Amino acid sequence: MTHTPLPVIRLNPKAQARAIRHGFPWVFADELVTDRRTRALTPGTLAVLEDTERAPLGVVTINPNSKIIVRILDRDPGAVVDTDWLTAKLRHALALRERLYPAPFYRLIHAEADGLPGVIIDRFGDLAVIQPNAAWAEVLIEPLADALVAVTGVTTVVKNGTSRVRGLEGLPDETLVLRGDVTGPVAVPMNGATYMADVLGGQKTGLFYDQRPNHAFAAGLAGGARVLDMFAHVGGFGLAALAGGASHALAVDSSAPALDLATQGAEAMGAGARFATRQGDAFTVLEALGTEGAQFDLVVCDPPAFAPGKKALDAGLRAYERVARLAAPLVSPGGYLVLCSCSHAAELAAFRTACTRGIGRGGRAAQLIHTGFAGADHPQHPQLAETGYLKALFFRMMD
């Protein structure tokens, strides 16, 4: 790449330059001087950001089409964002994951918290999936793939461009194999279980690594248990429970392909005879199980984000309460109920209140024994509450 002088963009008087100096990674559209020259910049352009006194704040990327118009890349205004720069970021991230996990299955890059704003990279052994959810990463996808191969030694790289966030950045919906070849689902060992990840057609990158510590905690409760895994996707909690000694697990999801992958995972770990699936709308199935008088020793509900933003918060909290109300009666006396939320807009206290209200409306009493969050390969950016999105509440039924 040639290193030409970068354009200069400037904060307006309303902006809080102090917040940026203290580590806040974004500038919103109403905080930037957006004159004709700035608006003409191509999304993903690198620039130098200055405060109102023309003091440089660092190298940034700009997308005039996004509400988050500027993302901070480097506090050094002289930084050169190229393959070497990307390589350094990836090496720093890899050092943490290699300390955390003995096998190369983890989230390698968690966006702003790993210094690559808008970028997600999940690793599945010698295959990695990149989600370039910001325009700058779309522009630099090839150097990013080169750096990823050089740092990790992966032989296959997939670009997954199906995230909802890409629409907010004005980016197309597409999935491509950038390096190597994908011949089918990838087997992923985690917590003693085997998961099958569809890295081309599955949800997100094909697997959710964020629940790893919560899968493990649930597995510790699962010895000899009858387990219900609602919103199971590829069998996250259910397969972990089987690895933990559950007598039987029933996985429920609306996606037949996801349940097929869950079944393949159960068979791959030698637990096919203890595993069953039921396809359908989760609320409908929960109501049907209640009517059937079904009972389980461990019930886990890990729904999609019911409150993806503040506008959906009230409706989302009502949905979480409804899940708890329908699930609580299915738990045997002294059994366990796990309720999860990946909605960053639903803060922990509000989510916990909705869940406890739902349990009460379901006619049950419970004690909260554990609160779980995302694994350490999903580090939080200290100034972005959005990065602390995942909550998992573990209840033990008192009756």
Q: At what angle do helices 256-268 and 236-243 cross, to 10 degrees?
A: 20
Range 292-330 burial, b when 16+ CB lie within 10 A, else e: eebebbbbbbbbebbbbeeebbeebbebbbbbbbbbbbb
Q: How far apart are CA 264 and CA 271, in angstroms?
A: 10
Q: Distance between CA atoms of 145 and 151, rounded to whole angstroms?
A: 10
Structure tokens belonging to residue 267: 């068979």
Residue 95's contacts (CB-CB under 8 Å, 6 or more residues apart) are none
Instruction: Tell me, yes or no, if 342 is annotated catalytic.
Output: yes
Bridging pattern class, strands 186-190 and 193-197: antiparallel
Q: Given 301, 340, 342, 355, which residue is catalytic?
A: 342
Rounded CA separation 149/144 (Å): 9
Say if residues 181 and 343 touch (Cβ distance below 8 Å).
no
Amino acid at 174: E
The conformation of residue 155, written as its DSSP 8-state character, comes to S
- Closest by alpha carbon to 62, among 91, 29, 110? 29
Q: How far apart are CA 208 and CA 212, in angstroms?
A: 8
Write out the catalytic residue numbers. 342
